[in-house]
Structure 1
Amino acid sequence: MLKQNLSFRLSQKLSPQQIQLMKMIQLPTQAFEQRISQELEENPALEGGKEESEDYDDEFNNDEYDDNYDDEGNEVIETDINVDDYLSDDEVPSYKLSANNYSADDEERQMPYAAGTSFTQHLMQQLSTYRLDDEEEEIAQFLVGSVDESGYIRREIRDIVDDLAFTQNVYTTENKVEKVLKIVQELDPAGVAARNLQECLLIQLERKEHTPSVSLAIDIIDNSFDHFSKKHYKKLIQKFDITEDQLRDAIHEIEGLNPKPGGTYSGNNRIVEHVVPDFAIKIIDGELDLTLNGRNAPELHVSHDYTNMLKGYKESKDKSKAQKDAVMFIKQKLDAAKWFIDAIKQRQQTLFVTMNSIMHHQEEYFLSGDERKLKPMILKDIADKINMDVSTVSRVANSKYVDTPYGTKLIKEFFSESMKNDQGEDVSTKEIKKILEITISEENKRKPLTDDKLAKILLEKGYPIARRTIAKYREQLDLPVARLRKEI
């Protein structure tokens, strides 16, 4: 049974322009420049660069258009739009009177396109120098096409045999594929087309001059790879009846190998992401100085051609329907241009206010560069200070970089949760991680510290942390367990 009822509900919805503004705030510098280029292409009323006429005012009214009629019901076009609101030149626009502290940026803005030979093409070119029959050539090309970015073929031979039959109409055997694989593994860089790390290291060692250290390294990787990967050095010494010095020399040979041969190809045509800092922080006379990248403050103005069109409409005595439609189009473009210019100003202000608050909250860190002086800081801390929504602060923090005296940093890296030390004070989890990292770096690598011992050391330093928390922070720092940090 269907029922209808009337209910009142109070809800808040974002307008399309508010949504666009939020998206614009989230954009980093390079994406923001692309957004400006797109708007300049789509809106002919908007122009970039300095304005030629210094007395032009682009502050215009945004009133909605209403049709007007006289007493006899005839349309009166002259009063449709107050053209003077768009043409007034009595006062200079505010954006020309305001100064900014945006840093100049004279760097080349055009991003060069990568060109050259791909990794697969590089291997194919080498393959053409081998004498192979038709079947071997098809198998070899298929194997090269199966090499991933790291330089490995991570598939079983039997699966490759099946794929050759189904996709290439090549019916062969596992032995034949194994034979061709050995040829492909002769290509450069050394270790390419290996099926696992063990095979990759062996291929590279076999190409070296077989000195006693290299021969021992081959024996270790070939016959005791599991002991080596788990750093069971005592078992290796006993098994191969060698001294610590001999083992150390063999390990030195292995450590000089490349576990990802595909990553070393200089002509690899990968897209390299260039980071353009959105802010810059400098220390001037012991004080922090914040500037917004000048590329975030473009010079935009309304087109003079559109202004002249409005002047022509105002001065015209006989106003036709076609002129009215043209003026309505002009009004829409002028309104869009005004909103876009205002949105850019609001974006600049939001970015600067947010980063300025972050900078002063972490003043001790920015003055010293010591990560142990990072204070606990969450998004709400900054949002409360600048009276903005948490989501706005998140948009600024997640996608923006700041150039500091200590390197270019992602802003969200300055945010962290808090923990209590033994004195009941709130300390940043980043401070604890930094102390943990320093402690591990200073340990005796012959007897690395276990997580239990690390927990006791941090407790002595005033940080009561459980062993499982130590393990979590260690993993976040990409540090292995004590056994894998052991050296001889």
Structure 2
Amino acid sequence: MLKQFLNLKLSQKLSPQQIQLMKLIQLPTQAFEQRLLEEMNENPALETGTEEEEIYQKDEFDNDDTNDEFDDYDDHDSEDTSDINIDEYLSSDETPDYKTQANNYSEDDEERESPLVAPISFHQDLINQLNTFILNDDEREIAEFLVGSIDDMGYIRRSIPDLVDDMAFTQGLYTDEKTVERMLHIIHELEPSGVGARDLQECLLLQLKHKTPTEYIALASDIIENQFEAFTKKHYEKLLQKYAVSNEQLKTAIHEIEKLNPKPGGSFTGSNKITEHVVPDFAIRIVDDELVLTLNGRNAPSLHVSKDYQEMMQTYKSSRDKSNAQKDAVQFIKQKLDSAKWFIDAIKQRQETLYVTMNAIMHYQNEYFLEGDETKLKPMILKDIADKVGLDISTISRVANSKYVETPYGTKLIKEFFSEAMKNDQGEDVSTLEIKKILQNTIEEEDKHKPLPDDQLAEILKEKGYPIARRTIAKYREQLDIPVARMRKKI
């Protein structure tokens, strides 16, 4: 049985404008600039630069009478529009201002162009080196196939039987393992040395063979070839007994190994990989013992509503004869003007949100920013800053995410300033960042001949006033990317 009834309930829903504002807040400087260009390409009513007087005011065209006129214009008869050409107001053959302006930190900065480089790729360089070898057609095809199988780190991660099968199925090139092995030896002669190796052990051996033979190179080669596992696990006592050498001799041989490159492909200077540069979103300076915060100027572009589009609205408003086609056009113009007006307001709100949030973080961590000592960082969670600035925790998270601040002590990721609190032996709250820094300093100061295991590190931190469990020490050590004691050992 069907029934009808009324039901009242409260619900929270974000408007499309609020959702887009949240997305704008989350964007770092470079991504924000890209988003700005996209918006300007999509909305011709939005322009860069300063405008002395803006004719368009949103509420001027949002009164009830105007809305009614737009809503019920279908009811009116079509009027004569021969004396008005709407196309004259929609001309788009001029170059937008943003294409001829630079949006840098300062107007005094010169606009410089970086020369374009056409680098030779890693694999093309290897192919060029192959041209110095005398090979028949089949051998050259095999050699080029092997070069194509080398990854960016310089390794061939496949077995010879797999390579033979792949050449037969994909290239129609039938060969045998012996021929491929011979071509692989030619690949091993190419630069950088170690390229074409199938594993780390072979890579290191190839590099040692390219070095001038000495007593220590011979010892290093023997260690890599026959005692590779003992070397990787740093069983130095076993190596000393095996080769009957002194500590100094073994230390010199190991030093030769440490100078080798485990990723020969990564050192290719002609690599065309794009280097990403961090653009700080904020800058903190110390002036007269006071902290001064500035927002990157690239986050505060000068935008205004297009004067041409404003004049179109004024022309339509003062026109006595209004046809349906004109009303369609002005409805489109009004939509673009509203969108431009909202985007400008959203950018201003983004600037304010970024600034007040970072300002609260700066004052919360005032002692650290004045001295640069990481042990001075206070425990700080998102809620602490949200309560200070009166914003939602999710908004604070968006501001802190993927944004950087330039400080007198380097450029830092903002979210790294947030940490949980732990109690010291006096019951005071201390930051986990402080404990990690002390742990890192303790490991750096240890005797590398006898590195400290986790249980001893826990005892040392306990003596310093930080009662931390051994498993917590292990967790912090892994977060700091510090290996276990045995792997930190040096001869």
Q: Secondary structure at the match of 1:47?
A: strand
Q: For residues 205-259 of structure 1, give each alpha carbon's deviation from its aligned partner in whole angstroms, at most 9, with x where no partner exists.
A: 1001001111111111111111111111111111011111111111111111111
Distance in 2, matches of 1:108 and 1:231, equals: 54
Distance in 1, matches of 2:434 and 2:240, equals: 40
Distance in 2, matches of 1:148 and 1:69, equals: 63
Distance in 2, matches of 1:191 and 1:119, equals: 14
Distance in 1, matches of 2:171 and 2:76, equals: 77
C-alpha distance 320-349 of structure 1, shift in aligned 2 (>3 A) = same
Partner of 1:94: none
Partner of 1:66: 68
Pick the aligned partner of 2:317 from 314, 331, 348.
314
Q: Does 1:184 align with 2:182?
A: no
Q: Does 1:296 align with 2:299?
A: yes
Q: Quick check: 193-202 or 117-126, which moved more?
A: 117-126
Q: Quick check: 246-255 or 113-122, which moved more?
A: 113-122
Partner of 1:123: 126
Mapping 1:266-277, distance limit 5 Å: 266-277=269-280
AA at the equivalent of 1:286: D
Check conservation: 2:55, 2:311, Cα contact below 8 A. no
Distance in 1, matches of 2:111 and 2:151, equals: 34
Check conservation: 1:69, 1:75, Cα contact below 8 A. no
Check conservation: 2:70, 2:331, Cα contact below 8 A. no
Partner of 1:261: 264
Partner of 1:162: 165
1:60 CA drift (Å): 2.5
Q: For residues 415-441 of structure 1, give each alpha carbon's deviation from its aligned partner in whole angstroms, at most 9, with x where no partner exists.
A: 111111111111111111110110010
Pick the aligned partner of 1:426 from 409, 412, 429.
429
Aligned pair count reads: 459
Mapping 1:54-453, distance limit 5 Å: 54-61=52-59, 63=62, 65-67=67-69, 74=76, 104=106, 106=109, 115-453=118-456
Check conservation: 1:147, 1:193, Cα contact below 8 A. yes
1:150 CA drift (Å): 1.2
AA at the equivalent of 1:347: R
Distance in 1, matches of 2:143 and 2:46, equals: 57
C-alpha distance 125-188 of structure 1, shift in aligned 2 (>3 A) = same
Check conservation: 1:58, 1:301, Cα contact below 8 A. no
Q: Quick check: 194-203 or 166-175, which moved more?
A: 166-175
TM-score calculated relative to the size of structure 1:
0.89
- Structure 2 regions of 5+ residues with no counterpart? 80-103
Pick the aligned partner of 1:463 from 442, 463, 466.
466
Partner of 1:35: 35
AA at the equivalent of 1:461: K
1:278 CA drift (Å): 0.4
Distance in 2, matches of 1:125 and 1:435, equals: 52
Q: Secondary structure at the match of 2:401?
A: helix
Q: For residues 39-77 of structure 1, give each alpha carbon's deviation from its aligned partner in whole angstroms, at most 9, with x where no partner exists.
A: 1111111111122xx23344332627223799xx75799
Distance in 2, matches of 1:9 and 1:143, equals: 68
C-alpha distance 74-256 of structure 1, shift in aligned 2 (>3 A) = closer
Distance in 2, matches of 1:12 and 1:46, equals: 31
Partner of 2:48: 48
Q: For residues 467-486 of structure 1, give each alpha carbon's deviation from its aligned partner in whole angstroms, at most 9, with x where no partner exists.
A: 11111111111111111111
Partner of 2:85: none
AA at the equivalent of 1:60: K
C-alpha distance 277-115 of structure 1, shift in aligned 2 (>3 A) = farther
1:169 CA drift (Å): 1.6
Distance in 1, matches of 2:71 and 2:230, equals: 93
1:108 CA drift (Å): 5.3
Distance in 2, matches of 1:175 and 1:74, equals: 89
Distance in 1, matches of 2:195 and 2:208, equals: 13
* Aligned-residue RMSD, C-alpha: 2.3
Q: Secondary structure at the match of 1:189?
A: coil
Distance in 1, matches of 2:70 and 2:20, equals: 33
Distance in 2, matches of 1:232 and 1:379, equals: 46
Check conservation: 1:104, 1:293, Cα contact below 8 A. no
AA at the equivalent of 1:380: K
1:175 CA drift (Å): 2.1
1:188 CA drift (Å): 0.8
C-alpha distance 109-455 of structure 1, shift in aligned 2 (>3 A) = farther
C-alpha distance 318-189 of structure 1, shift in aligned 2 (>3 A) = same
C-alpha distance 115-424 of structure 1, shift in aligned 2 (>3 A) = farther
Q: Structure 1 vs Structure 2: percent identity of aligned residues? A: 67
C-alpha distance 141-103 of structure 1, shift in aligned 2 (>3 A) = closer
TM-score calculated relative to the size of structure 2:
0.89
1:447 CA drift (Å): 0.8
Check conservation: 1:143, 1:181, Cα contact below 8 A. yes
AA at the equivalent of 1:10: L
C-alpha distance 343-109 of structure 1, shift in aligned 2 (>3 A) = farther
1:111 CA drift (Å): 8.0
Check conservation: 2:54, 2:305, Cα contact below 8 A. no
C-alpha distance 347-306 of structure 1, shift in aligned 2 (>3 A) = same
Distance in 1, matches of 2:412 and 2:155, equals: 33
Distance in 1, matches of 2:311 and 2:325, equals: 17
Q: Quick check: 205-214 or 307-316, which moved more?
A: 307-316
AA at the equivalent of 2:57: E
Partner of 2:90: none
Partner of 1:96: none
Distance in 2, matches of 1:158 and 1:174, equals: 6
Distance in 1, matches of 2:259 and 2:330, equals: 72
1:186 CA drift (Å): 1.1
Q: Secondary structure at the match of 1:399?
A: coil
C-alpha distance 226-452 of structure 1, shift in aligned 2 (>3 A) = same
Q: For residues 4-48 of structure 1, give each alpha carbon's deviation from its aligned partner in whole angstroms, at most 9, with x where no partner exists.
A: 876654322211111111111111111111111111111111111
Q: Quick check: 163-172 or 37-46, which moved more?
A: 163-172
Q: Secondary structure at the match of 1:130?
A: coil
Distance in 1, matches of 2:155 and 2:251, equals: 28
